[in-house]
């Protein structure tokens, strides 16, 4: 009997202890929720209270995000142009007119096996001649249809002096060494090379690619530099805005510290206020970036199509990136401002 009585008492004490712990945990969670709710409330009030300072901070943050967005869009569009041109560029290897289809087939088969080669196509002398004639006729805009047909027939009847052409597309246009070694060392191919036309490992389009790539790098560097400068300006503006808000509430902050308010309860409203700046600036920057890109799309033809497609399909990622960037600028600025103030006090 005594052991049973002790067991009940222990069980009762354990139950009361568990209940007390549960109440303590519940109160702690409720207190944390109330604290966070008040922090959000005070942050929103401070945002409304400092209207003109808030507008200035939002404006500079929006400009920063717009510059960064424009840089990314321009860089991607230029990258699309480079990729398109690269797909059209090929290396040309010229073979004698007397080369047979069987010889061409064997050379193409061996050349395709090279790791740096994507595709090899061959153009016969007759096909090359017809293509050349069509280019000539396309430039002769003053000729009538009948005159063009006569001119075409005369050119077709003329002796064909064009060689076989192997058009080689490479994985990387900067890596032609493997192809050059193959052309220079393959005995069967060396005997068939046209003596009057040396292999072409570069082209006018290659120069265009280099120019566009150089421009793209410069635009990216300039855009990132400008974005960095505006980001620093935005941080300074938000920093000063928060400092002004702290100054206006210094008596209130002093009283909160006297009654033992937590650091988060004091700092939190300013972080929330600066985060609101970033959120609004991100939305404004996103609207302007999307509107500007869609408005420019018809003028640039297919150049902006891949970029616009990505922006349409992944708009939520773009918005999240802008929100993160905007909030990050606001949080950094507010923490710097409040940290400096609390340190001084």
Closest alpha carbon to 88 in 169, 198, 196, 207: 169
User: For the chain, what is the domain count?
Assistant: 2
Least confident of 121-125, 173-177, 271-275: 173-177
Could you give the C-alpha distances from 44 to 15, 49, 235, 279, 302, in angstroms and in order? 43, 9, 20, 13, 45
Domain extent at residue 173: 91-202
Residues 222 and 340 in one domain: yes
Distance of alpha carbon 103 from its chain centroid, rounded?
A: 46
The model's confidence at residue 20, banded by pLDDT at 50, 70 and 90, is: low
Could you give the C-alpha distances from 189 to 25, 56, 126, 164, in angstroms and in order? 83, 70, 21, 12
Q: Residue 326: which residues within 8 A CB-CB, separation 6 or more?
A: 61, 65, 277, 278, 279, 281, 282, 285
The reply to whether 14 falls in a domain is no
Residues 175 and 267 in one domain: no
What are the backbone angles phi and psi of residue 239, rounded to the nearest 5°?
-55, -50
Mean pLDDT throughout 34-48?
Answer: 77
Per-residue pLDDT tens digits for 209-237: 667 667 777 877 887 788 788 888 888 88
Judge whether residue 25 has pLDDT over 60: no
Q: How far apart are CA 84 and CA 309, in angstroms?
A: 16
Residues 167 and 227 in one domain: no
Residues 58 and 197 in one domain: no
Domain boundary among 154, 174, 202: 202
Judge whether residue 17 has pLDDT over 70: no
The reply to whether 191 falls in a domain is yes
The reply to whether 29 falls in a domain is no
Contact 146, 201 (CB under 8 A): no
Residues 332 and 217 in one domain: yes
Per-residue pLDDT tens digits for 85-124: 666 667 788 888 888 888 888 888 888 888 888 888 888 8
Judge whether residue 300 has pLDDT over 70: yes
| CB half-sphere exposure, 318, CA atoms < 13 A | 24
Mean pLDDT throughout 169-192?
Answer: 81
Judge whether residue 322 has pLDDT over 80: yes
Contact 125, 94 (CB under 8 A): no
Residues 98 and 173 in one domain: yes
The reply to whether 2 falls in a domain is no
The model's confidence at residue 320, banded by pLDDT at 50, 70 and 90, is: very high
Complete edge-to-edge strand list for the sheet that includes strand 164-170: 91-95, 164-170, 117-123
Q: Residue 154: which residues within 8 A CB-CB, separation 6 or more?
A: none
The reply to whether 98 falls in a domain is yes
Percent of the chain at pLDDT exceeding 90: 6
Q: How far apart are CA 8 and CA 6, in angstroms?
A: 5
The pTM assigned to this predicted structure is 0.64
Q: What is the DSSP string of 33-70?
A: HHHHHHHHHHHHHHHHHTHHHHHHHHHHHHHHHHHHHH
Most confident among 145-159, 185-199, 277-291, 328-342 (mean pLDDT): 277-291
Judge whether residue 283 has pLDDT over 70: yes
Judge whether residue 3 has pLDDT over 60: no
The reply to whether 11 falls in a domain is no
Percent of the chain at pLDDT exceeding 70: 74
CATH of the domain at 104: 3.30.70
The reply to whether 122 falls in a domain is yes
């Amino acid at each position: 009997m005594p052991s049973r009585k002790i067991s009940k008492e222990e069980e009762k004490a354990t139950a009361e202890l568990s209940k007390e712990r549960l109440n303590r945990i519940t109160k702690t969670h409720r207190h944390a929720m109330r604290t966070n709710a008040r922090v959000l409330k005070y942050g929103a009030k401070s945002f409304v209270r400092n209207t003109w300072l808030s507008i200035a901070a939002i404006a500079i943050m929006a400009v920063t995000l717009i510059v960064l967005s424009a840089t990314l869009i321009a860089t991607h569009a230029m990258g699309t142009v480079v990729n398109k041109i690269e797909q059209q560029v090929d290396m040309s290897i010229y073979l004698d007119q007397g080369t047979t289809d069987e010889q061409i087939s064997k050379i193409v088969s061996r050349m395709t096996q090279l790791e740096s080669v994507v595709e090899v196509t061959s153009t016969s002398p007759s096909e090359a001649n017809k293509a050349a004639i069509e280019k000539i006729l396309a430039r002769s805009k003053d000729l009538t249809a009948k005159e063009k047909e006569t001119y075409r027939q005369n050119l077709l009847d003329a002796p064909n002096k064009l060689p076989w052409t192997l058009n080689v597309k490479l994985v990387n246009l900067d890596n032609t060494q493997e192809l050059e070694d193959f052309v220079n060392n393959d005995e069967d191919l060396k005997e068939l090379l046209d003596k009057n036309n040396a292999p072409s490992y570069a082209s006018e389009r290659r120069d265009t690619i280099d120019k566009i790539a150089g421009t793209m790098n410069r635009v990216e560097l300039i855009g990132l530099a400008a974005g960095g400068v505006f980001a620093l300006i935005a941080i300074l503006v938000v920093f000063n805005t928060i400092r002004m808000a702290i100054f206006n509430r210094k008596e209130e902050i002093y009283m909160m510290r006297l009654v033992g308010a937590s650091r988060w309860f004091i700092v939190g409203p300013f972080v929330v206020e600066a985060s609101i700046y970033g959120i609004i600036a991100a939305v404004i920057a996103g609207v302007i970036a999307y509107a500007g890109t869609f408005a420019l799309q018809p003028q640039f033809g297919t150049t902006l199509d891949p970029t616009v497609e990505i922006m349409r399909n992944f708009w939520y990622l773009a918005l999240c990136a802008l929100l993160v960037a905007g909030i990050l600028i606001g949080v950094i600025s507010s923490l710097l401002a409040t940290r400096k103030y609390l340190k001084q006090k």
